[in-house]
A and B are shown apart, each in its own frame.
Chain A
Amino acid sequence: MGNIVVSPHDKEGQHHMMATPTSNNPNGGSAATAKNKSEITVLLLGAGESGKSTLFKQVQFFHGVGITHDQERIELIEIVRLNVLENAKNLVAATQHLNIPIEQPENRETAKLIINSLNTNDLEDPSWSKRLYSLWKDAGIQKAYENREKFQLYDSTEYLFENLDRICSDKYVPTVVDVIRTRTKTIGITDMKFDVGDGKQLRLVDVGGQRNERRKWIHFFNTVDAVVFLTSLSEFDLNLYEDNGYWRVKESLRVFNEVVNNALFYKVPFVLLFNKRDLFEKKIATKSFSKYFSGFNEAEEKNPVACIEYMTKLFLNEITEHPLDTVSVKTLSAIDHDNSKQVFEEVKQFIMTQQHRE
């Protein structure tokens, strides 16, 4: 692998890195070039909870499909409320697991109901908004939340609890942001198509990221024209959902290595997106980054740019069989509509440029 040229981050915090190629891969099998194809297939890959489906939903939203319509979002009420319940249950379970008592007696009663009988229909009752919010503000629950790296919790927990007054209402219709921030494990493969000009269509394929879902990715490896690999910056202190003893960063690096060095992707444009920048910046303000990366300078651990550069090097070092001039690295906050739009536009341009080059 050759020298990595790291460009300075831009105003929006975008981090764009281009690597110079060192050698041609003799085993360079590749998916067919898409120059003359009317459809460009872009695969969103990455480990579980890296934000593939969030970006997919944002792209759907830019193109006026799916969740743009009230009707579609109404049908997702159940999923939003299930997220609230899941988070509440996980937090209550965490207080027991971490031996942190819930302080207020009425909150302990609420916790019992959450574990034993509360269901999504109950959340139509506005009184649950107050009870759940009171539980959320309980010192015990807050303490458990501060230690959330020790158990599984959705990133949107705080957002959902802060919006309980809307969610716990019989007139509740999820907003686009609610849907974007709702966590649903993706199973199988879903896709969408949209025009990108020149009579071409871009087919964006979203996949599940957990281990068992990855075996399905291969169905697209032969036809893919570009790969967008997402990894979560904020997962540096977390373990896997499917295997709680396994560090997420390690898993993400392993998956990235397998994908980027796959011979089928040799000539395929590759975009590495470091997602959840917003959460990451919040997290490093309170958590130690260097604790998880022995090679990282501790003095720089509160500097997000330095942390991201370090992460970037970690990932790019995994590339051994892919020409580096076809790899682009960016940061993203997929829950941010404008940022997603801007980054996706850049990704699209990069892919199109790469194809024209071919």
Chain B
Amino acid sequence: MNIELNDTSPATVDKTNSSNNFLDAHNDVLSGSSLDIHHHPNSPTFADHQPTSPSSPPSGVKYREDFTIDIEAAKQSASKSTTSRSKTVSSLKSRDSDIIFTIHTCVGKIQLSKLRLFSLVSLFINLASFVILAGLIIAAFVLQDQYNNFWEGLDTDTTYYRQRMISASRMSVFSNGDKATTKLYYDEYVVYMWKFSNNTGLFKTVVPESVRNAALKGKTNPELDTTKAVYQEQGAMFLAMAGNYTTAMYLLNSATYKTYLAGYDSEFQIMVDYVQSAKKQAQNVSVVMVTVSLAVILFSLVLVVPVIISSFVVSIKKDESVNRKLNQARTFLLIDTMQHAKMRQLFRKHCETELSLENFQLLEKITDYKMYCERSFEIQEYLYESSERSDTISDISAENKKKGYAKKKFNEKDLLECEKKKYEIAFEIYSEFLDVRGEKSVNLNKQITEKVKQHLDLFATGQNEHLIDSLFEQVEAETCIVMLDSHHRFKQTIEFQKQAKKDIITSKKKH
């Protein structure tokens, strides 16, 4: 016999806890076999546990379920896992049931929920409003452009120019013989005459012929009184500039000149009025266009703003609901963390930093124990079915093949070995983690640890043949609850956030 014991060996523990019956009996249990009881420095982690039996379901799936059930059991809520999963399913279903409209397109199906339809309507109303506005703005621009082109170079100050010409000529002539003043006003006269001529010249193209005929009454340019008056003004100013002020003043005071001046109202004022009214009309069109545009904007605002606000509110509510669901999901992240290889390592480091690694290690050990429980059950199942099959030998071969037992056969010795291994791990868990004097003693109620001790006693003294599978159920439950707080802090760490982001990006890439 070769029994290698470390600091958690029965002998060591015996010294500190003489009342531990199962420890006294420990060597008896192990007698006749060569066993190493050690700390398993490289003990398998959660994901590493892969049942070797070919009859077992795929390791990852099986283990994942096992662990979930254990954690749930640990929280004494056996149905939690199912509940949370069914919730996810129901939330997906409810998301499906939100869809009220489906459009089949060449590139696939577009499914519209109430919110999406609402947003789409809002988008269409927005688009329609913008199109109408664009049309109005374009029309206003074209009209304005046309008017500008039409009236290019023509303003509504023709009468004013003419009045400035008359006053300039008079100032030039009646300057008390001051030639400089005469010249000054002559120059001014030329400026306004040019402007007046430009406008009257444009009348030909912009004023309809009927209006022109009504005003000019078929007279040619030299026959017009206004033309004659202009000639007389020019003549008078020339005389004044030559020093003959008396004759010049006489010309501008003459009755003939005054008659010519009166001709302006009948010859040009009609056309000037026409231009002014046409320009006013153009301005009115612009005002109408702007008013209509504003009305469209107002209308679209009245329609769109509530839609936008509603969409926003619905989105926020939806976000809140999604966040709440996400947050609720986060409360289960201890399970997720333990199942995720990288996260598990990060969490392990976090526990190490917080000096609470023993809880993490305890969960790992319990998982080891449960793995052997599975194996024990597998062996017992085989042995039981094997005895059943002995009555029907003819079928055994087919049966074995079908169940995958062809390659693997167990016997009573295997079961014994497995139970011993279970005991070793259970003993190790107790002495190392549950005993208050243990090297990695965890924060547990004495009642819970006493229960485990009793089971170990019964097995060690031969009163029980098997250690129960649920031996550490309550221990695991308490440990998981205790670790929730630590895990909560872990979720606040940069490492966790970083890894979570990586996972999201990876899953997005996959999709």
Binding site for B on A (CB under 8 A): 71-72, 74-79, 82, 85, 89, 117-122, 152, 170-171, 184-190, 208, 210-213, 216, 219, 241-244
Contacts and interface: CB of A to CB of B under 8 A. Distances in A.
13 contacts: A74-B324, A78-B331, A79-B484, A119-B75, A119-B77, A119-B79, A119-B80, A120-B75, A121-B80, A187-B354, A211-B436, A212-B443, A216-B355
Contacts of B77: 117-122
B356 interface: yes
Contacts of B354: 187-190
B281 to A, nearest CB: 64
Interface in B465-492: 481-486, 488-489, 491-492
A187 B446 contact: no
Nearest to A245: B446
Contacts of A119: 72, 75-80, 83
Interface string B250-284: 00000000000000000000000000000000000
A274 B77 CA distance: 37
A75 B72 contact: no
Contacts of B84: 121
Given A119-B80, A121-B83, A211-B436, A185 B331 contact: no
A76 B488 contact: yes
Contacts of A79: 484-485, 488
B373 interface: no
Nearest to A124: B328
B42 interface: no
B443 A210 contact: yes
A242 B443 contact: yes
Contact of B79 (A74, A117, A171): A117
Interface size class of B (residues with CB under 8 A): 35 or more
Given A75-B331, A79-B484, A211-B436, A185 B443 contact: yes
Contacts of A185: 443, 481-482, 485
A89 B80 CA distance: 17
Nearest to B492: A72
B443 A187 contact: yes
B444 to A, nearest CB: 7
Given A79-B485, A242-B444, 17 more contacts: A118-B77, A119-B75, A119-B77, A119-B79, A119-B83, A152-B445, A185-B485, A186-B485, A187-B443, A187-B483, A188-B355, A188-B486, A189-B354, A190-B489, A208-B443, A242-B436, A242-B443
Interface string B73-113: 00111111001100100000000000000000000000000
A332 B61 CA distance: 51
Interface of B: 72, 75-80, 83-84, 87, 324, 327-328, 330-331, 351, 354-356, 359, 436, 441-447, 481-486, 488-489, 491-492
A119 B441 CA distance: 28
A75 B351 contact: no
A93 to B, nearest CB: 11
A184 B484 contact: yes
Contacts of A82: 75, 481, 484
Given A121-B80, A152-B445, A244-B446, A187 B330 contact: no
A244 B444 CA distance: 12
Contacts of A189: 354-356
Given A77-B331, A152-B445, A212 B484 contact: no
Contacts of B485: 79, 184-187
Contacts of B83: 119, 121-122
A45 B495 CA distance: 29
B176 to A, nearest CB: 91
Contacts of A171: 324
B484 A244 contact: no
Contacts of A190: 354, 489
Contacts of A216: 355
Contacts of B491: 75
Nearest to A186: B485
A72 B485 CA distance: 11
A29 B500 CA distance: 47
Contacts of B76: 85, 89, 119
Contacts of A213: 443
Contacts of B356: 187-189, 208
A187 B486 contact: yes
Nearest to A76: B488
A244 B436 CA distance: 13
Q: Among B87, B328, B359, B486, which residue has the most Cβ atoms of chain A within 10 A?
A: B328
A85 B442 CA distance: 22
Contacts of A118: 77
Nearest to A182: B485
Nearest to A48: B443
Contacts of B483: 187
A186 B355 CA distance: 11
A170 B506 CA distance: 31
Contacts of B484: 78-79, 82, 184
Which residue, of A72, A185, A188, has the highest number of chain B Cβ atoms within 10 A?
A: A188
Nearest to A191: B354
A310 B327 CA distance: 48
Given A118-B77, A242-B446, A212 B441 contact: yes
A241 B327 contact: no
Contact of A75 (B87, B330, B355, B441): B330
A129 B444 CA distance: 29
Nearest to A188: B356
Nearest to A79: B484
Contacts of B324: 74, 170-171
A211 B449 CA distance: 14
A75 B78 contact: no
A121 B359 CA distance: 24
Nearest to A219: B355
